[in-house]
Structure 1
């Protein structure tokens, strides 16, 4: 006999209904708004049309009219009209990209204006440009010039070919790359004057007078930027063992070649890499050699000095005095002032520092406006490429103020208020930089173009391996350098037929910068057969052997243990959260293939080393040294160029599974691991740092090792490639950091590289110059806020480039 449940009373039923209704009401009134609040991305609306308008109209809306005063009596006024006509005609021939004019005025002018004074000289015509701030231009006129009515021609020639010639050339080359010497623009700089001596006997200088004298030079540049100044004396700073001096036994003089000046400065031992300023520092060194090393002369240098691009200048002063007086220092300070002008991009002519400063201010104002608008355009493009990226109100405010500053600067220039225009353009540049480098935005921006979206179709064809080459292999080998013995290595690209022209650009760039000298094979892999067109066009660019392969079906499909319905649902959830590539199956197959299968492909099995190259990447510098050979000779295993933070929403459970694996494999972690790079608390949590794996040069023996095979298989079994969106970059990086000796990890600081929105550009001047790089150091990502570059240098205790703070977000 079954017992029946007691019947509920009407009161119980009423109570239960009230509870259910309360839960529904709370969920509706609190839960739903909370869900919207936590999943909705705030996007302030950028003034796109205004930014595009500024970009289109900048050059046409800015007008330079430089007044030059010539006070003549009334009967001679026609001469001014004629001279103006000649000047206008000459300027038309210059084909300047902007509206730039010299306007003659028949007035006295103020003390700070350009003024022409005519004087009679019976012998010959000549000119004199005042070195002082009165900007007086004296023209000595011969009787012949006057009687032949050539005075207008003479005035025109002086103004066009001498006084303003540098400015005209600078504007003619407005869109050309800036000098490699120039320190990137900043509205603020700090100048450090250092007296370093190599001997034991202390030497002093009159610091107060030194500072006072140099401040006079800096005042000339007050319309360009603000400068602060300090000075120091350092005793017993011996020369580095690396310095390359040639000693002449007959004269007793040590000579330093111009090409060897980079070996002269010992940055770390001389304490020159310890600047704590948050603004760019310009360094000037007066070095007094010890008696044993003196004298030292720099070949082909009258001033016995040299410039370190984007860093500062050095003057070698050979003296036995133990105190440097004002008279001793004036010539040295003049050299420093000349170096300073070159370092900030001022012209070398005319000799007047005041006129050169004026020219720089006018030119840099327009450059600042261009760069400001470029920053704003980049922000607009970034927002369009990532529809779900957050645009905080603070970024919008910075954009709007930057636009206001740009418009005010243009108005100031058009009114001839060049100092004010310079100040406003500098402020616009700073604000536009801040807007673009908002860290909150870059958490998602890093994911744009992290990899090409692999929208593969999954219709499988019979597996084929299709080697292709444009020349017989024997002919290719014979073309290699006699001194080069190739390593057992290949270049690897995962790409699709529709990536044809993007991968061709990558191949050509790396061949031009590197592989035409070494002729390594190139393996191309696809989950569909490559077309004949693809093989022919790409193979034609490869100097080694081009091989084309099809990926095995089991390496590009769902494993049996994956619940595809669950995977589909998780993709949908991630897509609703706005996570990039969230709904792409192919992207997950790509990440899984790159994590655990590429090195098992038949075409990859013969090789030990590989270099991964993706479609449409750039290589900025010559690569004369074989990186594969470097790995073998040094015993390195893994090399990278860019490190960055991962997006946590894509790997929410990854570190938990890594920790579980380590608990099951107690001896897996290397005793000298790189754990401190990927964790800030000795492995309790993951700090999201990883090596950006779209560039990696590595030894595949590591991926083929038992420990990595176990690690990958364990992670693969957890389903994170499909239930979340685990990427190969964090998986490779975590494995390298945990299971390798950290000494086997190498940062290729000399390989300039770009992928999408992020670049590695060598900021070491010697590397940049010697490797013939063509990248902009301002684009280097190494020390930017969302990079892990600073973390890498902190953990490895490696010395940063001396000028790193100029390219950092501090």
Structure 2
């Protein structure tokens, strides 16, 4: 059969059909496959996030349920004190107290005269982490005595207001918790107090760097085992806080590092006939030259610096003077100061007698006062970690520290502070990140980031549930996980992968490539339309 031709001699049916089918195939291939594949491969990968759950964090209640046991000698005394405690914390949105009271026998405390005996009686009560026991005693010298465990002993004459004050200011630290939360949530309305400015921020780990600085090794020979001090004293103390964070203790010696300030010489009646004064307001200037040489950035974690500076004889004895003009300490050989969120410095003076004979025999052998220096470092670590000095309350004493160990109720208070801090920070970080990812659509959200955000959200919720059940330790651990995951998600470098490649740039790059191929295909639609409409009309 021959091919059909029109009156002008052109091929009509077969050729036209092939051209139409070719145009259709190109259009289907380009528009049906090419464009979707291009769109899929150039779309920013974004894992679905639980935005609704993050939005609900603003309404998530994180009250800390705490069990308070009031054990008194009479029912009237126990009920009255329990009611006063409930009334004091009734409007608190941080604490949800479960106050229980009971009557104890007078014979239980008849033989309890010493602190040790009182602690043995308190050990008969079942107390968990975060619980508090208020125990009435008949053999106390003071109105209230706070034990080393989780017990507050009060005498029969102690007033309820004094006991409640101790509970609020020392044990539960209600105002400090409230300020910590509010200052993080609304920094423009609330300013951090001295305790919060001094305390190191939350971190899963810290480096503790113990440094001895000898500015003149030719004159001074320091006979001291710094590594033993780190291993024998600092590490055991920090092990008491292993639940809160991980600590890595390191030590080093630095030489030929003089002070960056010139102290003022003051004549006196000593053997040397003078001493040197270092004003309190110039102490921050000492940190700058030390920071340059300490090499404290040994890891990604915050570094707590503990520095022993051996004062050479030409600047000894060196004493720190307060703004009032008085000495900061009465110890002749040791002076110390604290730098918030950095660390502490101890200035150790050599013996005056040795410096008076320094022109006879060099070098001078100096043996630092280990007990004083270690005690100073422990006191500084307590402040830097978040255990403040106790606010004086008349008639109230605290059991002295044993073997440099913190009191259990102090660790519990620190757990509450860190829990509130980490929970508040995690919630704010998740909300800020969610808002950022909503507003900027070309930020990549990888599976890793999405998993971290989901884990952080789940940990925040689990922490709130644990605190509601009264499980402080479990609540803290979940808040620590939430804080770590939220910070890791927020600082993930993949979030910046396409931040500077917006949609308009993507179209500007790809349209010149696709447009030349698209124009013939789009124009061929006219021939396809003409072909099919002409067949329909026939």
User: Residue deviations 1:705-724, cap 9 Å, x none?
Assistant: xxxxxxxxxxxxxxxxxxxx
Q: 2:421 aligns with which of 344, 352, 367?
A: 367
In the comparison of the two structures, how many residue pairs are matched? 427
Q: Aligned residue for 2:311? A: 289
User: Residue deviations 1:88-147, cap 9 Å, x none?
Assistant: 22234xx5342343634547234975444433359x7433223x4x23433344xxx2xx
SS in 2 for 1:284: strand
> In 2, are the aligned partners of 1:69 and 1:109 still within 8 Å (CA)?
no
Instruction: Tell me the distance in 1 between the aligned counterparts of 2:497 and 2:162.
Output: 61
Alpha-carbon distance change, 99 to 170 in structure 1, aligned in 2, over 3 angstroms: closer
SS in 2 for 1:180: helix
Instruction: Tell me the distance in 2 between the aligned counterparts of 1:175 and 1:102.
Output: 24
SS in 2 for 1:193: strand
Higher Rg: 2
Q: Aligned residue for 1:349? A: 390
Correspondence 1:287-686 to 2 at 5 A: 287-300=309-322, 301-302=328-329, 304-320=335-351, 322=365, 324=367, 328-349=369-390, 353-354=406-407, 355-443=409-497, 445=499, 575=504, 577=506
Q: Aligned residue for 1:175? A: 182
Q: Aligned residue for 1:49? A: 52
Alpha-carbon distance change, 163 to 15 in structure 1, aligned in 2, over 3 angstroms: closer
Q: Aligned residue for 1:226? A: 246
State the shift of 1:36 in Å: 1.4
Q: Aligned residue for 1:135? A: 150
Deviates more, 1:342-351 or 1:305-314: 342-351
User: Residue deviations 1:56-112, cap 9 Å, x none?
Assistant: 22xxx2232333445456xx23422221101122234xx534234363454723497
User: Residue deviations 1:544-600, cap 9 Å, x none?
Assistant: xxxxxxxxxxxxxxxxxxxxxxxxxxxxxx53838xxx9xxxxxxxxxxxxxxxxxx
Instruction: Tell me the distance in 1 between the aligned counterparts of 2:429 and 2:500.
Output: 17
SS in 2 for 1:138: strand
User: Residue deviations 1:383-434, cap 9 Å, x none?
Assistant: 2222343322322211111111111111222233222222221211121122
Instruction: Tell me the distance in 1 between the aligned counterparts of 2:155 and 2:39.
Output: 79
Q: Which has the higher helix share?
A: 2
Instruction: Tell me the distance in 1 between the aligned counterparts of 2:213 and 2:350.
Output: 13
Instruction: Tell me the distance in 2 between the aligned counterparts of 1:445 and 1:77.
Output: 67
Q: 2:258 aligns with which of 235, 239, 244?
A: 239
Instruction: Tell me the distance in 2 between the aligned counterparts of 1:35 and 1:447.
Output: 17
> In 1, are the aligned partners of 2:209 and 2:296 still within 8 Å (CA)?
no
Alpha-carbon distance change, 269 to 349 in structure 1, aligned in 2, over 3 angstroms: closer
Q: Are 2:61 and 1:39 aligned?
A: no
Instruction: Tell me the distance in 2 between the aligned counterparts of 1:257 and 1:136.
Output: 42
User: Residue deviations 1:768-802, cap 9 Å, x none?
Assistant: xxxxxxxxxxxxxxxxxxxxxxxxxxxxxxxxxxx
Q: Are 2:261 and 1:258 aligned?
A: no
Q: Are 2:163 and 1:155 aligned?
A: yes
Q: Aligned residue for 2:299? A: 277
Alpha-carbon distance change, 17 to 417 in structure 1, aligned in 2, over 3 angstroms: same
State the shift of 1:51 in Å: 0.9
Q: Aligned residue for 1:203? A: 222
Instruction: Tell me the distance in 2 between the aligned counterparts of 1:22 and 1:273.
Output: 68
Instruction: Tell me the distance in 2 between the aligned counterparts of 1:31 and 1:91.
Output: 67
Q: Aligned residue for 2:85? A: 87
Instruction: Tell me the distance in 2 between the aligned counterparts of 1:411 and 1:269.
Output: 43
Q: When the two structures are superposed, what TM-score results if normalisation uses the length of structure 1? A: 0.47
> In 2, are the aligned partners of 1:185 and 1:344 still within 8 Å (CA)?
no
Q: Aligned residue for 1:495? A: none
Instruction: Tell me the distance in 2 between the aligned counterparts of 1:382 and 1:25.
Output: 39
Alpha-carbon distance change, 102 to 167 in structure 1, aligned in 2, over 3 angstroms: farther
Q: Aligned residue for 1:757? A: none
Alpha-carbon distance change, 252 to 16 in structure 1, aligned in 2, over 3 angstroms: farther
Which consecutive residues of structure 1, in runs of 5 or more, have no partner in the other structure?
1-6, 449-573, 583-648, 651-810
Alpha-carbon distance change, 420 to 215 in structure 1, aligned in 2, over 3 angstroms: farther
With a CA cutoff of 8 Å and minimum separation of 6, indicate the structure with the bigger relative contact order. Answer: 2
State the shift of 1:153 in Å: 5.0
Instruction: Tell me the distance in 1 between the aligned counterparts of 2:309 and 2:221.
Output: 13
Q: Aligned residue for 1:751? A: none
User: Residue deviations 1:489-538, cap 9 Å, x none?
Assistant: xxxxxxxxxxxxxxxxxxxxxxxxxxxxxxxxxxxxxxxxxxxxxxxxxx
